[in-house]
Each structure stands twice: as structure tokens, then as C-alpha cells.
Amino acid sequence: MRVLGIETSCDETGVALYDTARGLLAEALYSQVAMHAEHGGVVPELASRDHVRRLLPLVQQVMDQAGCTAAEIDGVAYTAGPGLAGALLVGAAAARSLAFGWGIPAVAVHHMEGHLLAPLLEDAPPAFPFVALLVSGGHTLLLEARSLGDYHLLGESLDDAAGEAFDKAAKMMGLGYPGGPRISALAEQGDPARFTFPRPMTDRPGLDFSFSGLKTYCLNTIAECGGKDALSEQDRADIARAFEEAVVETLVIKCRRAMQQTGHDTLVMAGGVSANRRLRARLAEALAKPARGHKPVRVCYPRQALCTDNGAMIAFAGALRLAGGEQQQDLGIAVLARWPLTELTPVARSV
């Protein structure tokens, strides 16, 4: 089965072609980061219009790269949510139109399920069941993945997600958008002993997250240093280091609890924040070795290029669902700006 995947949930236009026998054949991605950076964050209307301009040329580029014609494509998968409604509609309308014109099935894919399954595109992929930490944009959650589509929520962010907290902290320091990569790069030069930020909600049981208080603590620290305009480059580096350390350690503590609670021996981490090198290193250090109360845990994550939004994860997730017999029968085009992952339908069989 050969599936075309389309991702337009936010500020990246992603297209990919996945073959269930040969793997990923081709992919292309256009990032809108430079455009949105001028405004300090994503502007939904601009994002939607840019998807309109970029999508079909990227589809043609991917097909040319793979040496594939429309007659050789067996299905079209697209992100139907969650995300920006206008941006989602661009991808959904294009995908449904292509599928109708080519006489092949279309399947709606959950954006976060795409992220969750991205590590399965790597060599020696993890097998169900496992625990997943999903940290992408406005989402931070822990869940138990029992099988494809059968997900049990363990904990989620009660306010700001980790990615949102990074962006807001970066804006407070005048670092621009997007915040995560800028804070991580700056943190490499930071003094880890100068500031100690709190690890929110780690002093109580449970697996939920909260990063709004950490954001406030960061703002107060900046004020104590004289305000944003008075910060030296070293001040920014030290604050970035303390902020990143706090987020990373909070995520690690919650992951360790989730592994102990479920008894699983595999943790899958995916989403934009999963590209953070410090987070990857700390999880490996905290979970890879056996310790009192828990067994060694294998940590799996996608390659850097598949951490952010991309078409490959949508093509792959769509291929699994199409192989399980799922497809859209009507011609209606519907998207969901909000769509709980736990509402998905389990797939009985897959490739």
C-alpha cells in the first residue's frame, strides 16, 4: 500500500509518500517560522494562506522525487485535528479532492497520533504496549498506548504546555520565536548553579503537568535582574539554563512515575520538544538503568527531522489505519480544532 500524507495543522506544510513494503519513499516540508517570527508567534490567517500556496507544489515535488504517478497511490491521509481550523481545512480539502479525483480512499489522521507513531518509522521500532510522552506545541501529555488507537490518558498539562512555556519564556527574554530551540542553544552557555527554578507539581502524587507557575517564576527572575532590556547575554544564558533544567527534570520525574505506575518497559517520546538534547540525555540516564522500585526502560524517539510536524508521520499513521479497514465513505470535509486522543477508534489489524 502506498499512501500520500498531508500535514497542515499549524505552521508547517508537510507532504510525504509512504510505502508499506519499502518504507518512506519521499518527503518535503515547508516551515513558516520565518514569516511568523516577524509577529512573535503564529498568525492563523497567514498560516492558512501560506498552506494554500505551498501544498500542491509540495505534493508534486514528493511525487516527482519518488518517481510515482497518481495511478500508483493507494490512499491519501491528512491531519484532521487538532490544530488551527483554517490551516486544517486547507489540507483536508486538498486531500479529499485528490482522493476523489484519483478514485482512492482518504483517511483522517489525528495529529498527536501521528507524533506518537513517528518513532515506529525508525529501525528496531517499539512494540505495543508502551508509555508515551507527547510534547508538541500546545500539548504535553502522558498516556498508555495499549494498541493502535487504544490510548489511556495518564496525565496532561493543566495550563501551559511545555512548548508554550518555552515560547513565552523566550519572549520574556527578548529571544524571539520559536522559543524552544533558542532557549536550548543559549542554555549551553548558562551557569547551572546561578538560578534554581521550581519543578512544578512534582511534590505531590499524580502525573499531570503545570508550567504556568514556572513561567511566572521566570518573569520574576528577569525583573530581579533589572528587566528584559537590562539583561546581559550571560544573564539570558543563566536564566535559559535554569528554565530548561526545570522543564526537563519535571518531565523526567513524571515519566519515571508513569513507568512505575504502568509497569511497562518502553517509553516513547515524540513531538517538537522531544528534539531537546538535554531531555533525551536525562531520560536515558534516569530510566535506562535498573534501580530500586523500577526496571530498566527503553526510551524511543524519532530522528530530529520527524520530531516537528511533518508529512511522514501522517502518511505512516494513515497507512496503518487504511490497512485496518478505516476510510471515509462520504465526501464531507470536517476538521476538529480540539480532538482528545482518547476518542480515537482502535484498529483491529494493521500492516
Q: What is the pLDDT of residues 160-171, one digit of tens each?
A: 999 999 999 999
Comparing C-alpha atoms, which of 76, 81, 115, 118 is closest to residue 98? 76
Cα gap 164→179, rounded to integer Å: 8
Which is nearest to 97 in space by CA: 32, 4, 9, 215? 4
First-last CA distance in the chain: 9
| Mean pLDDT confidence for 193-217 | 95
The residue among 157, 181, 161, 137 whose CA lies nearest residue 276 is: 181
Instruction: Enumerate the β-bridge partners of residue 266.
Output: 298
So what's the pLDDT on residue 136? 87
Task: Give the residue among 335, 278, 272 at the shortest CA–CA distance from 307.
Answer: 272
Comparing 112-116, 144-148, 212-216, 290-294, the range with the smallest average pLDDT is: 290-294
Q: What whole-number distance in Å separates Cα of residue 30 and Cα of residue 33?
A: 9
Query: What is the total residue count of the chain?
Result: 351
Which grid cell sits at 193? 548553579
Q: How far apart are CA 263 and CA 244, in angstroms?
A: 28
- Phi and psi, residue 63, nearest 5°: -65, -40
Amino acid at 263: G
Q: Give residue-wise pLDDT tens across range 81-98.
A: 999 999 999 999 999 999
List, in order, residues 6 or more apart from 307 with CB less than 8 Å away: 118, 270, 271, 272, 274, 275, 301
Distances from the Cα of 176 to the Cα of 26, 34, 180, 182, 218, angstroms: 32, 11, 10, 8, 16
Confidence of residue 229 (pLDDT cuts 50, 70, 90): very high
* Cα–Cα distance measured from residue 161 to residue 142, given in angstroms and rounded to the nearest whole number: 12
Is the Cβ–Cβ distance between 73 and 102 less than 8 Å? yes
* CA 71 remoteness from chain centre: 32
pLDDT at residue 292 is higher than 70: no
> Residue type at 212?
S
pLDDT band of 327, cuts 50, 70, 90: confident
Mean pLDDT of the 215-228 span: 96
Checking if the pLDDT of 349 tops 60, the result is: no
pLDDT average, residue stretch 106-133: 97
Q: What is the mean pLDDT of the chain?
A: 94
240-264 pLDDT, tens digit per residue, is 999 999 999 999 999 999 999 999 9
| Cα–Cα distance for residue pair 128/156, rounded to 1 Å | 21
Q: According to the model, what pLDDT value does residue 293 have? A: 61
Confidence grade of residue 134 (pLDDT, cut at 50, 70, 90): very high
Can you tell me the distance from the alpha carbon of 212 to that of 162, in angstroms, rounded to the nearest whole number? 9
CB atoms within 10 A of CB 138: 14
Residue 289 has pLDDT above 80, yes or no: no
What's residue 294's pLDDT? 66
pTM summary value? 0.94
